[in-house]
Amino acid sequence: MPVYYINSYDITDPELFKTYGPLLFPILKRYGAEVLVSDTAALAVEGRARTMHAIVQFPSEEAALQCYSDPEYQPVKDIRHRSTTNCTMVLVKAFSMGGK
């Protein structure tokens, strides 16, 4: 069953953050992930929008967690941590009308 990382954060160092995506995408590809949303101009309908919102689909929870724990991702994750604040990252399962 597909799962999704939903990420929201404020970019505090745009120059450093520019290096994040090019390093991240090959790692995501290895785990069968697809970036569905990546937006720095989200419209806040309720609450406050962060400067970045992303939704990344993985084929399974196992693939998503393996990607997050991948040793190659750790220095890339550090770039995100150093170039952003107010990060929220959650892993959610796909919705099924059958409730499964």
Cβ-contact 60, 28 below 8 angstroms: no
Count other Cβ atoms within 10 Å, centred on residue 49: 16
Of 100, 98, 38, 93, nearest in space to 64 by CA: 93
pLDDT in tens, 61-82: 999 999 999 999 999 999 999 9
Collect all residues with Cβ–Cβ distance below 8 Å to 90 and sequence separation of at least 6: 5, 6
Its pTM stands at 0.90
Residue ranges of the chain with per-residue pLDDT less than 50: none
